[in-house]
Structure 1
């Protein structure tokens, strides 16, 4: 129905209609209720574990390695995967703005020119003022503003905004999850690189000892005091040990290139920094972190799954709202006349219209969409529950791996000390003629194996500790603060810094 004119009764009716629509609006569909999860009071594998809430925020600094700290900060600033998540946050925010704008009046300019044939059974070109003629053509020119507004009677737009907000918050949590993975990967590859450097040192030291043994054996053979077999065995052990050098060198360089990739740099950019030999970072004696009850608050992947659940719940409301009527208002305010030269303030014109549409028959399309959205909500709920259980399993698995590897590392340290003593004794007994040369070679081979295993175990303990802090969701809070300091120094904005925390 179109309403035009100056009558005050029309204005009153229109205002009443708008007010009634706004006041009677409701939001259909299920209201969101956050899921609840029953968590254990403590970790099962809690040996060597100290409960210190919040102490896992800067776990990488527990290694007391300035180089690692520097790499972490540069990774937060330059990692390309992390930057991609920032752009996705910006995209989600703009989509939320689009959803909000759908519930607000839209104003646009309107300029139209039309020609109308009015035939009332009379001939001639006569007409009436204002563009209404009979029996001829009439030109109508309009210049003004169009206004359209969908009144959100049943909450379709409000549910859309709710879904967009949840999507935005899910993207924020996804960025934090990517950040935690980044922190863990940088630290892990750094540990592996230092491990391989240390293995190269151990190999070269054992190679020096074995080469000296082989040299003395050849001298003994030339003097007729030893058999050629012993010299061949000594040379074979040297060659076998030397064959491990390329393997460790390859692993070291691959770890270095991986670190450079994580920092957004080309291969070789950090060569001077990373190729300098430094000791492996020392693992702290105890791990300090939070209790299981704090896992839901700390782990971004759980928080992301919960936000995705909220989004699917809101989408159900959007689908349900399609079953209800939709009310739209359109209005025009401007100038109208029959000639361009007559477009003046004297030719004022306005119109208003209201449209109410109600679905009647759509072959089950709306109900099918509701059922599909409910199925997506059920999937999101199951995904959330699976994420929680997976997080609990991940923490327990890493805790037991850390505890067992620490025991293994301590045993290997004792084995190294015993093998060093055994080598010294076997060499002394061989020189005294009390044992065969084969015992010396076995002692050298066993010592090299024990020292290599010990170095690898030390690195594994550190890697297991990193995995525990990653599983506990530690590090993203302080890392974001570091990122914000760097971002402000470069006059840039980190979307994570201004994202809402829940």
Structure 2
């Protein structure tokens, strides 16, 4: 009874003395609107459906199921969940069994035996266990957010590589068209040379332009292979053995729905890397609580149950129950404990700075994507106009050259300008499609955060957990 009374007094004293550290989650300063704000339209929860490309939908679905980085993140999430369960179990009494048997050889041989139970309970009077649970819960939440962030990044990477694969395909098609056009010009120039109407220099110039165009084939093939191999890795396939199936739609994928950027503050609840940084900040706050707990007394209550009187025959004859209280009172450590608290606070300051930096980076990614979307839309319109004018100029130059009214230099120049404009339009259309991918990756609009993680973590994550659901 004296032990119990002493233990309860320390529980009371420790409970009054301990104040669990509460972390203030300052919302980073965010402008009310983005600097470039395009008119919103229907934002699909699954943003890549906005390209209306079944092949892309299939590739991303496969990637989200088979990608190895996502699998690794899922395994880390399971590990964090198991560690959280382990930390919570420390709040319960721990009981272990003991037993031994032997033979006493002195005098008459006698078989000896002993058995018993050993128990330990930590009432957590200084709050250390609670802080450790909060730290593990924050780790669990962070692992869940990082798994969702892998899905965000993998979906964006697959879409980007698919666009590059389609871009290289369009470049190859344009290469064939350009080669045919320049071969026709070379035939015309050769005929005129054979008829004495053109110099051999003109033949050489036309042949050089054709060779220059054909030389691009290898570079396009490299880009196409790079994109196919990158897609293979993202889908957990062996590079060199995979190529996307042919699409029923021609040209570069066109995004048809959006964007709907919302407001900058939305990033705080949609970007999974920001949420992961927030969980890491909560973990740092819990670490402060762990170190602060070491400044106050701690209490553990061990108990024993011994069975028998030491002989084999009397194994179940006697029972002995023991209960104690083990108290650890910090007195002097040369300042070590307070230094560890100061270190934990400094780590929390670093995590806060990282949290703000990640938010600013995300904000910059959205702004850059919005500017790029606007710029490439204008560029595509201008390039389409340039192609239309270039086709007219080439047609006129061809007619004039056949009549001997203009030089080959003018014809080749018109031809080069048209080919360059067509190449630039393909690249610009691919860049526009990639900008939409970058935008949706930046705003975190795939809705892949697992709510179960937050519910599991809420028991020890801290006050902020309910705000993250």
Normalised to the residue count of structure 2, the TM-score between the two structures is 0.90
**Alignment-derived partner of residue 425 in structure 2:** 454
Map 1:135-150 onto structure 2 (within 5 A): 141-150=113-122
Does the CA contact (< 8 Å) of 2:111 and 2:312 recur in 1? no
Map 1:105-116 onto structure 2 (within 5 A): 105-112=93-100
Q: Are 2:329 and 1:339 aligned?
A: no
In structure 1, what is the Cα distance between the partners aligned to 2:395 and 2:455?
Answer: 60
**Alignment-derived partner of residue 136 in structure 2:** 164
In structure 2, what is the Cα distance between the partners aligned to 1:328 and 1:497?
Answer: 30
1:400-419 residue CA offsets vs partner (Å, 9 max, x unmatched): 12111111111111111111
**Alignment-derived partner of residue 151 in structure 2:** 179
SS of the residue aligned with 1:311? helix
SS of the residue aligned with 2:36? coil
In structure 1, what is the Cα distance between the partners aligned to 2:456 and 2:202?
Answer: 72
Map 1:327-406 onto structure 2 (within 5 A): 327-344=299-316, 346-406=317-377
In structure 2, what is the Cα distance between the partners aligned to 1:349 and 1:64?
Answer: 76
Change (3 A) 1:282 1:28: same
1:413-465 residue CA offsets vs partner (Å, 9 max, x unmatched): 11111111100000011112211111111111111111000110000001111
1:253-288 residue CA offsets vs partner (Å, 9 max, x unmatched): 110110111011112443362599943211327422
Q: CA deviation at 1:396?
A: 1.1
**Alignment-derived partner of residue 439 in structure 2:** 468
**Alignment-derived partner of residue 44 in structure 1:** 35
In structure 2, what is the Cα distance between the partners aligned to 1:310 and 1:496?
Answer: 13
SS of the residue aligned with 2:245? helix
In structure 2, what is the Cα distance between the partners aligned to 1:313 and 1:272?
Answer: 47
Change (3 A) 1:357 1:497: closer
SS of the residue aligned with 1:273? coil
1:33 to 20, 24, 46: 24
Q: Look at both structures and tell me which one has the larger radius of gyration over its CA atoms.
A: 1
Change (3 A) 1:356 1:18: closer
In structure 2, what is the Cα distance between the partners aligned to 1:169 and 1:68?
Answer: 30
1:70-106 residue CA offsets vs partner (Å, 9 max, x unmatched): 0010000000011110011111111112221222211
Q: Are 2:162 and 1:190 aligned?
A: yes
In structure 2, what is the Cα distance between the partners aligned to 1:77 and 1:474?
Answer: 19
Structure 1, unmatched stretches of 5+, are 1-11, 117-124, 126-137, 482-493
In structure 2, what is the Cα distance between the partners aligned to 1:458 and 1:272?
Answer: 20
SS of the residue aligned with 2:308? strand
Q: CA deviation at 1:30?
A: 2.0
In structure 1, what is the Cα distance between the partners aligned to 2:41 and 2:208?
Answer: 52
Does the CA contact (< 8 Å) of 1:39 and 1:293 recur in 2? yes
Report how many residues are paired: 455
2:215 to 239, 243, 255: 243
**Alignment-derived partner of residue 87 in structure 2:** 99
Change (3 A) 1:275 1:397: closer
Change (3 A) 1:499 1:191: farther
SS of the residue aligned with 2:170? helix
Map 1:390-429 onto structure 2 (within 5 A): 390-429=361-400
Q: CA deviation at 1:140?
A: 7.3
Map 1:185-224 onto structure 2 (within 5 A): 185-224=157-196
Change (3 A) 1:263 1:146: same
Change (3 A) 1:305 1:237: same
In structure 2, what is the Cα distance between the partners aligned to 1:358 and 1:274?
Answer: 73
Structure 2, unmatched stretches of 5+, are 459-467
**Alignment-derived partner of residue 67 in structure 2:** 79
